[in-house]
Amino acid sequence: MGTRRIPLPGVGTQYDLTTESGGHLSVVVHHDGRRFLGVYRADDPDACESVALDPEEATALAHLIDPTRLEGIDTDGLDLVTEHIPVGSRSPYAGRLLGDTRARTRTGASIVAVLRRTSVHPSPGPDFRLGLGDTLVAVGTREGVDALAAIIGGG
């Protein structure tokens, strides 16, 4: 496997991945946050199928691929789970304070961290302002975390 990072002046950065089997993928990250996933054909390395991803879609794809994703916590028999919950374009809480969600009161689930594209905010307080594209790390029962995901998602 081989990876390389290529600066694209005025555009952003391209990340290339060549797999052990010879497959070739690229991710182009624009300065404005747009992302494009490119898949190159094995029979024609100049032919590329490109898919545009918005921040929410890029986060969802990363969580599907990432083998180190938080799956759960060993709680000695307690039924607790850990989930990543994206703050997407349909969320009524993008741009609002975390306290506005009343997450713990409404669901019993706790938001233990907020992941941003360039930073991690552990133990955010009620005055923490959520942003579009943030990912909440929530801990609670399956029912509580699912309820929190529905609230944050606008469901």
Q: Are residues 47 and 102 in the same domain?
A: no
Residue 111 counted as domain residue: yes
Residue 49 counted as domain residue: yes
Note the pLDDT of residue 93.
96
- Tally of domains in the chain: 2
Note the pLDDT of residue 72.
47
Note the pLDDT of residue 125.
93
Residue 30 has pLDDT above 70, yes or no: yes
State the CATH number of the domain containing residue 122: 3.30.70.1450
Note the pLDDT of residue 70.
46
111 CB-contact burial (10 Å; exposed 0-12 / middle 13-18 / buried 19+): buried
Predicted structure pTM score: 0.54
Q: Domain range holding 143?
A: 81-153
Residue 77 has pLDDT above 90, yes or no: no
Note the pLDDT of residue 152.
94
Note the pLDDT of residue 155.
66
Please count the CA atoms within 13 angstroms of the CA of 75 that sit on its side-chain side: 12
Per-residue pLDDT tens for 83-102? 889 998 889 999 999 999 99
> In a 3-state reduction of DSSP, which class is residue 98?
helix
Residue 61 counted as domain residue: no
Top mean-pLDDT range of 16-30, 59-73, 82-96: 82-96
Greater confidence (14 vs 102) lies with 102
Q: Which of 53, 71, 94 is the last residue of a domain?
A: 53
Note the pLDDT of residue 1.
59
Residue 69 counted as domain residue: no
The mean pLDDT value for 34-42 works out to 85
